[in-house]
Structure 1
Amino acid sequence: MSGEGIGFGKAILFNEHFVVYGIPAIVSAIGKYTIAKIEPMDKSGWTLNDNRKATPRYKEDKLDQQKKSINNIIKKMGIDLSKKGIEITLDGTLYCASGIGASAASCVAIARALSNHYGLNLSDEEINEVAYEGELAYHGTPSGIDNTASTFGGLIWYEKKNPIIMDKIKIHSPVEIVMGNTGKVANTTAAVAGVRERKEKYPDKYKEIFDRAENIAYLAKDALNEEDYKELGKLMNENHKLLQQIEVSSRELDFLVKLARDHGALGAKLTGGGLGGNIIALTPGRELQDNVANAIEKEGFQTVKTVIGAVKEGV
């Protein structure tokens, strides 16, 4: 018997990094996903065929973390591979790069595929918990936001409190975005550690920035509820400024953000860990989406044209 599972990619719309400290963040599943397939094999242990398309060096750089992640997932699920092992195959429409939730999508997809393969019938909540264990191998102290978006889909308001606060934000239909890839593999763990260090060193400066980030989250939630994308874009621009102030942007990210805005994006910012990876540009309507994507591609960068608010396979 074989098992299959999917996990969505994601884009953080507001407050990556700030979310680690309990500031609300808004994240969306995007219409691209990873598929995991599990096949039984006669020998013990597990093997992996990773057929996902990826930024150069992405898969090589993440290999050790990936092995640890899969072991975490198998351990958390209580699966014994000492007699009969499994072959895991990863594929799908999600292009692997930093800032797009590739690691979380693979964790969710593998957890779902294992659940199906072994007839465990895990709920989405349980899949999310398992995927978080997998994410620990990639991010050290992940907020949990990536695996949550990857598991549940849609738009999510997320607060890392105890217990975690997670609310769906409903929009009538998914909205077009462009993600622009710097081509640099980001080290999220290093970025998170750097913010922590500077926050301890400059508490007053950082308190001011963090307070503004919190305010932006509430304004952005209102803008989404009202589907006021002009306002949402302005808030994305302001959020990027705060991310620059906490030093997680980069020359390439800032270049792509400016390029997207100059070609009509309603707003643009880095998305994910920063220091590389992707930007997200808000481009409602296919025409605007094409214009912005073409401008980025002309400069030699790769893009993903997709949507926020994705709730089902292949949106």
Structure 2
Amino acid sequence: MSELIDDVHAGFEQRFGGKADGVWSAPGRVNLIGEHTDYNDGFVLPFAINRRTFAALSLRTDRHVRVASSFAEEVVEIDLDELSPETVQGWAAYPLGVAWALGQDGADLAAVPGFDLFLDSNVPVGAGLSSSAAIECAVAVALNDVWRLELDRRALVGVGHRAENDFVGAPTGILDQSASLLGRTDSAIFLDCRSFDTEVIALGLDAAGLEVLVIDTGVTHEHANGGYAERRASCEAGAKTLGVGSLRELTVDDLSRARETLDGETFRRVRHVVTENARVLDTVRLLREQGPTAIGDLLDASHRSLRDDFEVSVPELDLAVETAQNYGAIGARMTGGGFGGSAIALVPGHLVSQVQVALDGAFAEHGYAHPDMFTVVADDGAHRDA
């Protein structure tokens, strides 16, 4: 990580001709289990990972804002007074959306100066590891510090969520920002998306001799696309038809009534969310009582539900999961919103290389591009680095 801090300092100087006031960072995340439950007021169990986005930032003496990054050539410039979802497009909407959202959530943007910002990251883009939330949360903690806003972490979760939903236009829940801001080493964050209550759950992966292998299929996805929005709309329609405020209010015992009431597709969407909430609760219980070696079957069941009921998997993700299961993983599933991105596999440490070799062979045999594979550990959330 020290190399990335040096890189983001150097990038800032190259683009803006001076030194940054400081560097802040925020992690991407892996969602261990609990997919598409967050915007249904349900339960999720993500953890922050040791892949981070770094934000070098300096305050200006005027109202101007300039943002640049290692992954785009242009420097985007705008005045604070002109910030709106209509005036900013592309990658710059993520950091600038945070500044706008801080104003929407109570910060007096008329009383703060502009800034120069440079971003660098080793969170893969489009891999389902929430590179977008890593940007939002790094910028949120940076501006919270330099503008002296004194917002707590829970408030910053709301800022990042508003930026992604209302500025970028991606109808996501609060899972990603919560993991990026609240993460702890060797722990997952058990989040109730209705009450916003959180609890740190020890993972104990190292003690159990287990690794989390990320398999990035290279199939990119966009949260703002129609598939994600359609799934959310189906969930809302199902809840309305069944007479509940959100699918969180349903249990597995309600599924027989749902089957009789809903059309086939809407029922499958509802069944995924209801059973996935139950799987999250079971995973938390097993982690507490037996440790991570006991949760493999729940990961496998989650993937089947996402593939068959929610229909957000793709052939590359299914191949990654099946191959990992066949060559030593105790459990595997797609992670993230779907339509591409990554799978995760919970693998005994001594079998990681065996699983990787098998995946290389399977992807080549099917004519798919070589997957990017790496292990991750649970890391701390967003903070100031320098």
TM-score bucket (shorter structure): 0.7 to 0.9
Contact 2:58 2:117 in 1 (8 A): yes
Secondary structure of the structure 2 residue equivalent to 1:188:
coil
> 1:18, 1:312 → 2: CA distance?
22
Task: Please name the residue that 2:253 is paired with.
Answer: none
Secondary structure of the structure 1 residue equivalent to 2:23:
strand
Pairing 1:106–2:169 present: no
Contact 1:6 1:35 in 2 (8 A): yes
Task: Please name the residue that 2:178 is paired with.
Answer: 148
Task: Please name the residue that 1:58 is paired with.
Answer: none
> 2:161, 2:283 → 1: CA distance?
26
Residue ranges of structure 2 left out of the alignment (5+ in a row): 1-19, 73-87, 238-262, 364-369
**More moved, 225-234 vs 212-221:** 225-234
Could you report, residue by residue, the CA deviation over 1:12-39 in whole angstroms, capped at 9, with x for unpaired residues? 1112113321231211111221111102
Q: Cα gap change, 1:207/1:107 in structure 2, threshold over 3 Å: closer, same or farther?
A: closer
Report 1:29-40 matches (<5 A).
29-40=48-59
Q: Cα gap change, 1:24/1:80 in structure 2, threshold over 3 Å: closer, same or farther?
A: closer
Alpha-carbon distance, 1:295 to partner? 3.6
Normalising by structure 2, we get a TM-score of: 0.70
Q: Cα gap change, 1:170/1:47 in structure 2, threshold over 3 Å: closer, same or farther?
A: same
Contact 2:43 2:193 in 1 (8 A): yes
Task: Please name the residue that 2:314 is paired with.
Answer: 250
Pairing 1:166–2:191 present: no
Q: Find 1:177's aligned residue among 192, 196, 212.
A: 212
Task: Please name the residue that 1:48 is paired with.
Answer: 67
Contact 2:331 2:346 in 1 (8 A): yes
Q: Cα gap change, 1:212/1:31 in structure 2, threshold over 3 Å: closer, same or farther?
A: same
Contact 2:95 2:135 in 1 (8 A): no
Task: Please name the residue that 2:163 is paired with.
Answer: 134
Give the length in aligned residue pairs: 302
> 2:231, 2:216 → 1: CA distance?
22
**More moved, 88-97 vs 237-246:** 88-97
Q: Cα gap change, 1:219/1:244 in structure 2, threshold over 3 Å: closer, same or farther?
A: same
Name the % identity.
23
Alpha-carbon distance, 1:176 to partner? 2.1
> 2:373, 2:110 → 1: CA distance?
39
Contact 1:99 1:278 in 2 (8 A): yes
> 1:71, 1:30 → 2: CA distance?
24
Could you report, residue by residue, the CA deviation over 1:62-101 in whole angstroms, capped at 9, with x for unpaired residues? x935333333311233465899642211124323333101
Task: Please name the residue that 1:193 is paired with.
Answer: 229
Alpha-carbon distance, 1:9 to partner? 0.9
Alpha-carbon distance, 1:227 to partner? 4.7
Contact 1:43 1:83 in 2 (8 A): no
Could you report, residue by residue, the CA deviation over 1:197-250 in whole angstroms, capped at 9, with x for unpaired residues? 555443444444333222211111112223533331111000000101211001
Q: Cα gap change, 1:160/1:44 in structure 2, threshold over 3 Å: closer, same or farther?
A: same
Pairing 1:228–2:247 present: no
Pairing 1:290–2:353 present: yes
Normalising by structure 1, we get a TM-score of: 0.84
Secondary structure of the structure 2 residue equivalent to 1:252:
helix
Q: Cα gap change, 1:116/1:84 in structure 2, threshold over 3 Å: closer, same or farther?
A: closer
Task: Please name the residue that 1:306 is paired with.
Answer: 376
Alpha-carbon distance, 1:172 to partner? 4.1
Task: Please name the residue that 2:14 is paired with.
Answer: none
Q: Cα gap change, 1:276/1:67 in structure 2, threshold over 3 Å: closer, same or farther?
A: same
Q: Cα gap change, 1:210/1:115 in structure 2, threshold over 3 Å: closer, same or farther?
A: closer
> 2:278, 2:313 → 1: CA distance?
21
Secondary structure of the structure 2 residue equivalent to 1:184:
coil
Q: Cα gap change, 1:294/1:138 in structure 2, threshold over 3 Å: closer, same or farther?
A: farther
**RMSD of the TM alignment (CA)?**
2.9
Pairing 1:76–2:106 present: no
Alpha-carbon distance, 1:115 to partner? 2.3
Contact 1:178 1:292 in 2 (8 A): no
Task: Please name the residue that 1:241 is paired with.
Answer: 304
> 2:144, 2:100 → 1: CA distance?
13
> 1:262, 1:213 → 2: CA distance?
23
> 2:182, 2:347 → 1: CA distance?
24
Pairing 1:219–2:282 present: yes
Task: Please name the residue that 2:344 is paired with.
Answer: 280
**More moved, 210-219 vs 249-258:** 210-219
Alpha-carbon distance, 1:105 to partner? 0.7
> 1:81, 1:176 → 2: CA distance?
48
What residue identity is the alignment partner of 1:248? V
Secondary structure of the structure 1 residue equivalent to 2:45:
strand
Q: Cα gap change, 1:142/1:113 in structure 2, threshold over 3 Å: closer, same or farther?
A: same
> 1:215, 1:82 → 2: CA distance?
47
> 1:149, 1:73 → 2: CA distance?
17
Could you report, residue by residue, the CA deviation over 1:104-132 in whole angstroms, capped at 9, with x for unpaired residues? 01101011122233344433223322222
